Amino acid sequence: MIPRGFRFSAVNAGVKSPQVKRADMGLIVCDRKAVLSGVFTRNQVKAAPVVIGEELVRAGAARAVLANAGNANACTGIQGIQDARMLMEAAAKSLGIESSEVVPLSTGVIGVHLPVDRMVSRIPDLVSGLGNDPDVFARSIMTTDTFPKVVSRTAGRSTMIGIAKGAGMIAPDMATTLAVILTDAAVSKQALDNIIKNAVERTFNAITIDGDMSTNDTLLALSTGYVTENIDEIEKGLTEVIRDLAILIVKDGEGATKFVTIVVDGAHSEKDAKKAAMSVANSLLVKTALFGADPNWGRILAAIGYSGATIDPEKIAIEISGYEVVTNGQESKGFHEDTLHSLLKEKEITIGIRLGMGPGSFTAYTTDISYDYVKINSEYRT
């Protein structure tokens, strides 16, 4: 089931190369002007579609989202902005709407200009192919993803759906991704802004795969306003959609063999809890130990120590998948390396950290780092 008022399509335009034959351009269209919200990368190097998207989100309304994979349109200067606007204008003309109602999204290789002529030539087919299958759009924005990411929820009579891509270059402050959240619920611009901002902080800003922040991170939310529903139910549903998308991105981490949940409790504040959680989640030494099932719990303790969080080392406790590893900052009595080694072989691992400093808590999601991660990212452009 999809929210009322939305249609989807995808085509192949050979965006990265004419030799690429899979769908790499996608279109979402609303049958009426939708309320538009969004959050973007905090990287100071911003792709052309991010610069334009930020402007459109401030205006607060849209009728379409035009996306491509294979080329980020980042670090492309004024021409990059002009190219994106040319595509927006071509899509708007085919749809009979204003170009300012088309939001651009791009993902892929940085520093290469878009093949605009090739892409513009496929827009009529994008428009004529519009239908009710969101999966086609989800596949069109995939890069190193191994599966399309689509989730949905209902809130009373309203429906919401989320579509995302992302598998690598994932770090907090709008983790590296493209995501579009759609709902037919009636939500004001201010309410939608607040819901998205709050939801992202504990979802997309709580995931990390490799600690690298993209130039193109974008999460858009559009509401067609067909259904009136309780705002608390709408917020709950949208937050769950965003959370589930974030978790899918981590589970599809480039070369990842394990999905890791890091729960920090007892921090001086939530801010401190997040510092500790993300420090552990981003530690290459922790992530390589997880890959090799190496019971080297000292790496976790070290990452907490340099996180910047207020701690007392003698109060720290750590358990891994329910097994007590550290008590009062030292190895727990009865600890056995073989037991932890076996637990670390599992595909899903939970690291629980208790700091004993206060009420702050935060949950982060990450992966291990494998040989395949290096292979994928050493051949990305070639």
Q: What's the CA gap between 34 and 39, in Å, rounded?
A: 16
Q: What's the CA gap between 271 and 315, in Å, rounded?
A: 18
Other CB atoms within a 10 A radius of the CB of residue 301 amount to 20
Query: Is the same domain home to 300 and 356?
Result: yes
Instruction: Return the pLDDT at 172.
Output: 47
The more confident residue out of 209 and 261 is 261
Q: What's the CA gap between 220 and 60, in Å, rounded?
A: 11
Instruction: Return the pLDDT at 51.
Output: 95
Listed residues 230, 251, 272: the one ending a domain: 251
For residue 42, what pLDDT band results from cuts at 50, 70 and 90?
A: confident
Listed residues 228, 251, 274: the one ending a domain: 251
Instruction: Return the pLDDT at 367.
Output: 87
Instruction: Return the pLDDT at 377.
Output: 60
Q: What is the pLDDT of residues 319-352, one digit of tens each?
A: 999 999 999 999 999 999 999 999 999 999 999 9
Helix (H) / strand (E) element for 183: namely strand 178-185
For residue 22, what pLDDT band results from cuts at 50, 70 and 90?
A: very high
> Which amino acid is present at 360?
G
Average pLDDT of the chain is: 91
**176 assigned to active site:** yes
Point out the catalytic residue in the list 41, 143, 176, 177: 176
User: Based on the structure, what is the number of domains in the chain?
Assistant: 2
| Token pair in block for residue 377 | 């990212």
Query: Is the same domain home to 40 and 145?
Result: yes
Q: What's the CA gap between 310 and 308, in Å, rounded?
A: 7
Query: For residues 102 and 52, is the Cβ–Cβ distance under 8 A?
Result: no
With 0-12 / 13-18 / 19 or more C-beta atoms within 10 angstroms meaning exposed / middle / buried, residue 103 is: buried
Residue 296: is its pLDDT beyond 90? yes
Query: Is the same domain home to 240 and 308?
Result: no
Of the chain, the percentage scoring pLDDT greater than 70 comes to 92
Instruction: Return the pLDDT at 30.
Output: 97
Boundaries of domain holding 75: 6-251
The more confident residue out of 371 and 188 is 188
Query: Is the same domain home to 297 and 231?
Result: no
Task: Outline where DSSP puts E strands in 75-144.
Answer: 102-106
Instruction: Return the pLDDT at 171.
Output: 47
Query: Is the same domain home to 238 and 281?
Result: no
Query: Is the same domain home to 178 and 280?
Result: no
Strands 259-267 and 348-354: parallel
Query: Is the same domain home to 112 and 20?
Result: yes
Cα torsion for 258, 259, 265, 267, to the nearest 10°? 80
CATH label of the domain that carries residue 72: 3.60.70.12
Query: Is the same domain home to 312 and 215?
Result: no
Q: What's the CA gap between 123 and 121, in Å, rounded?
A: 6
Residue 1, in any domain of the structure? no
For residue 168, what pLDDT band results from cuts at 50, 70 and 90?
A: very low
For residue 175, what pLDDT band results from cuts at 50, 70 and 90?
A: very low
Listed residues 251, 271, 298: the one ending a domain: 251
With 0-12 / 13-18 / 19 or more C-beta atoms within 10 angstroms meaning exposed / middle / buried, residue 321 is: middle
The region, left, alpha or beta by phi > 0 then psi within -120 to 50, assigned to residue 317 is beta
Instruction: Return the pLDDT at 108.
Output: 87
Query: Is the same domain home to 216 and 266?
Result: no
Query: Is the same domain home to 236 and 318?
Result: no
Q: What is the pLDDT of residues 48-91, one digit of tens each?
A: 999 999 999 999 999 999 999 999 999 999 999 999 999 999 99
Please name the residue that has the structure tokens 């995808």. Answer: 10
Instruction: Return the pLDDT at 376.
Output: 60
Contacts of 82 (CB under 8 A, 6+ apart): none
CATH label of the domain that carries residue 295: 3.10.20.340
